[in-house]
Structure 1
């Protein structure tokens, strides 16, 4: 079952507008919106790079602190590169710092990586970019589902999530939710259309 909240959608504001609001460190609504957009995303990246949950929480907190320190004088310009790339460099540096603090015997390498050149093997830029893109797509899909809640019913979103994301058959989904099979296909069509619209709008807003 998916969890849907009534929080304000990030689709209501463009990326540049949100960044301008973040210049005001007292704008709690803007910072809450920014935190909701990025915290789980950053946390999952740290986990996938081999850090513990406690360390991943530290990475997330430190990333938020570093962003807050520079935002009052931050000038956003797409010509200079995306905000996502700038933030990814901050996260990468924090993860590297965590590994450098570890004793060699305590370093836990992610699957498929060896111990040759810590900075290159663990925090390789191309590797982090791949993880970053994968987790960002996951993050956008979750946010799009939350935004879609304003336009379709919770049950329709549950059906859509079970049938499309969890790949249950229409019959199994119908049994789990307690509806007919035709209702599953109808919900898939309706919720799917809204989800695609919200995902496209969100992707454009934060690109």
Structure 2
């Protein structure tokens, strides 16, 4: 029997270090649940690309951080199962809309569970039950733009961040540093040149090369799963 491939060494994002335990628990549990599937590497990459989007939308929809991490895992597992069964058809609609729908269902599952099993602190609190019911009603209605508005705001930021991470791994550290200073930080040509000890031509070259790669990655992520 062949041994499973070792887990890739993935650094914990700075903005979730305070939730290090939850982040690691979610990723490890997800990998274990996907352990018998052939393309585990692809699903790990999928997690790295979209976990932040699903997590952020979940918290903004009213979930706790722990609940949002659970939604990340359950959403990705549900997507993986549909893909494995051949139920995902990119011709039926955009990946963005499909991922939103899958995320919506998992968020609704959490609110329904809350309503069925309120915490000890909330038991007997009619306001808590009413609030959960109202959220379920709103999120269940496709015509309600509550979740769509949150999703649209988070989608672009997430896709851009994911594209930048991919490009960062493809270009030299020096080129990405120039691009980061000039484009991301908005330093301008003169400040970037002086700070990094380069000329204006090198600044423009890095902007063009790295910028083109970022644009290509963004377009790819907007239209396909990976």
Q: What is the CA distance between 1:155 and its match in structure 2?
A: 2.4
| Max Rg structure | 2
Q: What is the CA distance between 1:156 and its match in structure 2?
A: 2.0
What is the number of equivalent residue pairs in this alignment? 179
Instruction: Tell me which residue corresponds to 2:156.
Output: 137
Instruction: Tell me which residue corresponds to 1:179.
Output: 197
Q: Note closer, same or farther for the CA distance 1:128–1:165 as it changes in structure 2 (3 Å cut).
A: farther
Instruction: Tell me which residue corresponds to 1:199.
Output: 218
After superposition, residues 92-171 of structure 1 pair within 5 angstroms as: 92-100=104-112, 101=114, 103=122, 117-119=134-136, 125-149=144-168, 151-171=170-190
CA RMSD of aligned residues (A): 3.6
Q: What is the CA distance between 1:171 and its match in structure 2?
A: 4.7
TM-score, scaled relative to structure 2? 0.60
Aligned equivalents of 2:88, 2:80: Cα separation in 1: 14
With CA pairs under 8 Å and 6+ residues apart, which has the higher RCO, 1 or 2?
Answer: 1
Aligned equivalents of 1:172, 1:106: Cα separation in 2: 54
1:174, 1:184 within 8 Å by CA — same for their partners in 2?
A: yes
Aligned equivalents of 2:41, 2:60: Cα separation in 1: 29
Q: What is the CA distance between 1:55 and its match in structure 2?
A: 1.8
Q: What is the CA distance between 1:60 and its match in structure 2?
A: 0.7
Where structure 1 has 5 or more consecutive residues not aligned to the other structure, the ranges are 6-21, 110-114
Q: Tell which deviates more after alignment, 34-43 or 185-194.
A: 185-194
Q: What is the CA distance between 1:57 and its match in structure 2?
A: 0.7
Where structure 2 has 5 or more consecutive residues not aligned to the other structure, the ranges are 1-9, 11-33
